[in-house]
């Protein structure tokens, strides 16, 4: 099965599953363009293929994700204003997550990780 994301102004509106048979070209090879054509004919709009294993477009598309044409990637909504996008289209905090085995939550006001007390 193949997955395709419908875009409106480069924002994902829905993701659908398409049978592999519907994306085969004349040589029996999978073709993204055949999938795009199939989705466009069925539902209209603009489509891009996505994959669960992130082999294409860095991340699996989700509703509300943005498609970045330059990176050729689906990007999740930015979790905090201070976080930046890395080369793998993943959001990163300005401070690395602690590696001491404790659980933390991000504090945008202090730009630091606060320990979660599991009492």
pLDDT tier at 117, thresholds 50, 70, 90:
confident
State mean pLDDT over 35-56.
Answer: 94
What are the residues whose beta carbons fall under 8 Å from the beta carbon of 7, sequence distance 6 or more? 13, 45, 46, 47, 48, 67
Distance CA 16, CA 6 (A): 8
Rg (CA), the chain: 18
Residue 118 pLDDT class (50, 70, 90 cuts)? confident
Average pLDDT over residues 90-118: 95
Q: What's the pLDDT at 54? A: 76
State yes or no: pLDDT of 75 exceeds 80.
Answer: yes
Cα dihedral value 110, 115, 118, 119, nearest 10: -80
**pLDDT confidence bin for 119, thresholds 50/70/90:** low
């Amino acid at each position: 099965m193949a997955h395709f994301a419908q875009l409106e102004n480069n924002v994902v509106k829905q993701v659908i599953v398409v049978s592999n048979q519907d994306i085969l070209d004349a040589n029996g090879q999978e073709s993204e363009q055949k999938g795009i054509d199939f989705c466009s004919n069925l539902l209209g709009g603009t489509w891009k293929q996505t994959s669960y294993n992130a082999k294409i477009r860095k991340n699996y598309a989700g509703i509300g994700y943005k498609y970045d044409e330059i990176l050729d990637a689906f990007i999740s909504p930015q979790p905090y204003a201070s976080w930046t996008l890395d080369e793998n289209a993943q959001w990163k905090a300005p401070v690395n997550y602690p590696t001491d085995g404790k659980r933390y939550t991000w504090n945008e006001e202090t730009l630091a990780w606060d320990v979660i007390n599991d009492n």
